[in-house]
Amino acid sequence: MKKLRNRFERFCFRHRNVGIPNLMLFLCIGSATVYLFTLFTRQTVLYDVLCFSRYKILQGEVWRLVTYPLTANSGSFVLTMISLVCYYSLGRAMEQLWGTLRFDLYYFSGVVLMDAFCMAFGGAADVTYLNLSLFLGYATLYPDSQFLLLFIIPVKAWIFAVFDLALTAYDVIELAVWGYFPYCLFPLVALLNYFLFFGKDVVNVFPVSWRVNASRLFRKKKSYGPAKTIPFPSAGSYGATVAKPKAVYNHRCTVCGRTDADAPELEFRYCSRCNGYYCYCEEHISNHVHIQ
């Protein structure tokens, strides 16, 4: 799996300019057009033509499989416009880092996954969670970037990402409790492209301190066996005889081996008849075999 992922990343890097450049710009402009048309005309004709409908897709209106991302709106005019600008900024930042091809595959893979799920199990596909995957991807790539909550309070991207993941998990559990199975899995399917493209890098959305503490918590402790006792020379309880360092001497008798450090009362002489430089104590200077 790791080799396949590396090959995919290399392929996307070599062909990074292939695809639809500024994809999010076209999507946001299209969404704004549909929203404004619906808002000012008080008619949902354009929305009804583009939205996802399993029944009408089976009747031949296959364009709905790729046009429903243009029907995204957040209710009020101001909130919708702010959301579209935000999604464009997030998508543009990811496209500049990844390249056109990889970003396009990231977005369209989410569309295809939602299409397959809704065509198989029913339900209406929307881009709420797909746009959330854009935010999660941005927060994973730039976890320390800041957003202004209420245009005043700076909050880091990873905090918003963790909060959104918690809300998504809550939605899944709530739908499952109310018996909306398997449609309760739709939020996970909509975010599946995020997990597929990031793999184990999804942990980057969490702070480094959290990851370090988690690794310490789940790290398997090594067994080193019983502790070894190392006797030191100063430990008298082991009964070891510590050898005293030898004293430094200047003269040493060649016969008996005594030195001026061992017996300072002795006098030492060097024999002139021995062939070499040999020293003797006063007892052996006249009583030794000359070395030739």
pLDDT along the chain (292 residues), means of 10: 79 86 91 89 87 90 90 80 89 90 91 91 82 87 79 80 87 85 86 86 71 60 61 52 62 83 80 81 77 74
CB atoms within 10 A of CB 76: 9
Structure confidence at residue 106 (pLDDT): 92
DSSP 82-148: HHHHHHHHHHHHHHHHH-HHHHHHHHHHHHHHHHHHHHHH-----SHHHHHHHHHHHHHHSTT-EEE
CB atoms within 10 A of CB 117: 20
Whole-number Å distance between alpha carbons of 153 and 255:
94
The amino acid that residue 156 corresponds to is K
Terminal CA-CA length for the chain: 84
pTM greater than the 0.85 cutoff: no
With CA atoms as reference, report the closest residue to 211 among 201, 221, 220. Answer: 201
Structure confidence at residue 235 (pLDDT): 47
Q: How far is CA 265 from CA 102, 243, 280, 282, 288, in A?
A: 95, 25, 14, 10, 20
Q: Where in the chain is the domain with CATH 1.20.1540.10?
A: 2-208
The amino acid that residue 54 corresponds to is R
2-208 domain in CATH 1.20.1540.10? yes
